[in-house]
């Protein structure tokens, strides 16, 4: 019933509400609300008796003489709230009739259903979060693996924000030195000012380039793509089935059984993987098989990690960074510089999984605050472009303008500038109750 209500355009400060828990069968449902006037709405439901701030209290909820529910109520006055506004939570019994009746009561009292991401949007507008932290909240809600959870928590805690703000502070100092050189061209400013400016500029350029080359954050957020490739009948599909724990792919003794890409999602040592089985690589005149091989090579080219499986015959790695695996060691000796195993007998599988875990850890783990989204990458690339222009500028005024534009690019990442132009795009991807 709530979703069917006509929703007016968002107006900052008005009371909004949404279900913060799922709609499936459950014991408890949490309805949250926020905005100027939330105190009056809650007081009306509770018969004028508000709970102590930030203390859960059992209340009988009534509206127009109707007993709605007996609920645990939290009164969350601003600015010490998620949105920075007055707000409250109602921990209701989760029956659809209860939820819909409470929603109707809230609407009658002047509140309206929230838009996707509107609670977090208000938190950003109130300065409780920046854009990077808000995006991390969305990632935390969507996290499926331990690595995704840990990364989102670190970003929500401000790890990436602090990195970018640190660069912005260094740019401010850099720009101050540049302005001094512009404003006092005839003064005997110490040569150290120009040297420090040049050194700091180069250090910043190096830091941004290193940040762009680190793809760990993006890999963790979307999941690691691991492609199993090799010649026909070397046991690629058998390896996929073993790792998946069920028969995801058809396995026969006939070469070329797999003709299309088979992909499954897999959680391995706390990391979300996309495990891809591909057609056997060989020369063929079969049109369908040839298309499967073309698709296999496409996935090999774009994979984060390639497991190149061989059996008895030495082959050149499909990629320099491919993990070479000798299968069927119960029939053929393992080749040099490969991991030997037999999917059929289980020999070597424990060592293989340990080696696979080490490779995945190298691709996803580490220190620092990696970027996680295409928006972050585009912003850092833009800032680096302006820093490169500043480095190459012959005129101090041109260099100063390039530095200002670089600061602006960094500021857009956290929402310090041009925030309104980004809000609709970012928060439109959120769930309703967040």
Q: What is the pLDDT of residues 163-179, one digit of tens each?
A: 999 999 888 888 877 77
Kind of pairing, strands 323-326 and 339-340?
parallel
- pLDDT at 10 (0 to 100): 46
Residue 252 annotated in ligand binding: yes
- pLDDT at 433 (0 to 100): 58
Residue 192 annotated in ligand binding: no
**Helix residue ranges per DSSP H, 3-145:** 38-45, 96-108, 118-125, 131-142
Q: Comparing 187-196, 271-280, 332-341, 407-416, which segment has the lowest mean pLDDT?
A: 187-196
Residue 173 annotated in ligand binding: no
Q: How far is the C-alpha of 296 from the C-alpha of 315, rounded, in Å?
A: 17
What residues are paired with 269 via a beta bridge? none
Residue 279 annotated in ligand binding: yes
- pLDDT at 369 (0 to 100): 86
Residue 211 annotated in ligand binding: no
Peptide bond into 79 cis (omega under 30): yes
Residue 236 annotated in ligand binding: yes
What predicted TM-score, i.e. pTM, was given to this entire model?
0.76
Residue 237 annotated in ligand binding: yes
- pLDDT at 419 (0 to 100): 47
213 vs 248: which has the higher pLDDT: 213
28-30-31-37 Cα dihedral, nearest 10 degrees: 120
Q: Across the chain, how many H-helices and E-strands are there?
A: 14, 12
How sure is the predictor about 205, in pLDDT bands with cuts at 50, 70 and 90? very high
- pLDDT at 348 (0 to 100): 93
Kind of pairing, strands 305-310 and 224-230?
parallel
- pLDDT at 431 (0 to 100): 60
- pLDDT at 248 (0 to 100): 56
- Give the Å distances, CA to CA, from 188 to 33, 178, 206, 397: 62, 15, 30, 19
- pLDDT at 434 (0 to 100): 59
Residue 277 annotated in ligand binding: yes
Tell me which H or E stretch contains 34.
strand 28-34
Share of the chain above pLDDT 90, in %: 56
Residue 235 annotated in ligand binding: yes
Q: Which residue has the tokens 């979060």?
A: 129
What residues are paired with 90 via a beta bridge? 31, 73
- pLDDT at 422 (0 to 100): 46
Cβ(73)–Cβ(55) under 8 Å? Answer: no
DSSP string, 279-315: --------HHHHHHHHHHHHHHHH-SEEEEEESSS--
Residue 292 annotated in ligand binding: no
Residue 248 annotated in ligand binding: no
Averaged pLDDT score across all residues of the chain: 86
- pLDDT at 424 (0 to 100): 57
Residue 383 annotated in ligand binding: no
pLDDT higher than threshold 70 for residue 18:
yes
pLDDT tens digits, 352-374: 999 999 999 988 887 678 999 99
Cβ(89)–Cβ(68) under 8 Å? Answer: no
**Nearest CA to 35 among 129, 106, 137?**
106
pLDDT higher than threshold 90 for residue 73:
yes
Residue 128 annotated in ligand binding: yes
Residue 233 annotated in ligand binding: yes
- pLDDT at 261 (0 to 100): 79
Residue 399 annotated in ligand binding: no
3 state DSSP class of 305: strand
366-370 contacts at long range (C-beta below 8 A, 24 or more positions apart): 366/214, 366/216, 368/163, 368/214, 369/154, 369/155, 369/159, 369/160, 369/162, 369/163, 369/217, 370/151, 370/160, 370/211, 370/214, 370/215, 370/216, 370/217, 370/218, 370/220
Residue 83 annotated in ligand binding: no
pLDDT higher than threshold 70 for residue 190:
no
Residue 340 annotated in ligand binding: no
């Amino acid at each position: 019933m709530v979703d069917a209500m006509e929703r007016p355009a968002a107006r900052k400060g008005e009371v909004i509400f949404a279900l913060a828990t799922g709609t499936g069968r459950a014991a408890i449902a949490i309805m949250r609300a926020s905005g100027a006037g939330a105190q009056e709405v809650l007081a009306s439901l509770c018969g004028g008796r508000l709970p102590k701030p930030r203390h859960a209290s059992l209340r009988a909820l009534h509206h127009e003489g109707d007993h709605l529910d007996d609920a645990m109520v939290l009164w969350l006055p601003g600015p010490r709230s998620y949105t920075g506004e007055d707000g409250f939570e109602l921990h209701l019994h989760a029956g659809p009739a209860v939820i819909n009746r409470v929603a109707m009561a809230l609407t009658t009292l002047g509140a309206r259903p929230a838009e996707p991401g509107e609670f977090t949007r208000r938190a950003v507008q109130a300065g409780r979060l920046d854009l990077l932290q808000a995006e991390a909240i969305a990632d935390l809600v969507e996290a499926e693996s331990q690595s995704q959870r840990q990364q989102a928590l670190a970003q929500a805690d401000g790890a990436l924000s602090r990195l970018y703000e640190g660069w912005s502070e260094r740019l401010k100092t850099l720009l101050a030195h540049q302005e001094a050189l512009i404003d006092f061209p005839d003064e005997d400013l110490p040569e150290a000012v120009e040297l420090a400016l040049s050194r700091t500029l180069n250090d910043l350029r190096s830091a941004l380039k290193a940040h762009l080359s680190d793809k760990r954050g993006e890999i963790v957020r979307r999941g690691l793509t691991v492609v199993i490739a090799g010649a026909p009948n070397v046991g690629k599909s058998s390896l996929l089935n073993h790792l998946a724990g069920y028969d995801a792919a058809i396995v026969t003794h006939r070469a070329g059984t797999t003709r299309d890409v088979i992909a499954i999602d897999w959680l391995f040592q706390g990391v979300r993987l996309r495990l891809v089985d591909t057609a056997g690589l060989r020369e063929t005149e079969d049109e369908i098989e040839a298309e499967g091989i073309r698709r296999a090579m496409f996935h090999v080219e774009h994979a984060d990690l390639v497991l190149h499986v061989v059996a008895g015959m030495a082959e050149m790695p499909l990629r320099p960074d491919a993990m070479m695996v000798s299968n069927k060691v119960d029939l053929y000796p393992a080749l040099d510089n490969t991991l030997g195993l037999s999917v059929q007998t289980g020999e070597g599988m424990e060592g293989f999984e340990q080696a696979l875990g080490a490779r995945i850890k190298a691709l996803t783990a580490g220190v620092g605050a990696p970027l996680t989204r295409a928006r972050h990458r585009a912003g850092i690339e833009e800032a680096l472009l302006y820093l490169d222009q500043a480095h190459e500028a012959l005129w101090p005024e041109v260099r100063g303008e390039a530095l200002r534009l670089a600061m602006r690019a960094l500021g857009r990442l956290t929402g310090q500038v041009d925030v309104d132009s980004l809000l609709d795009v970012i928060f439109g991807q959120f769930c309703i109750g967040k």
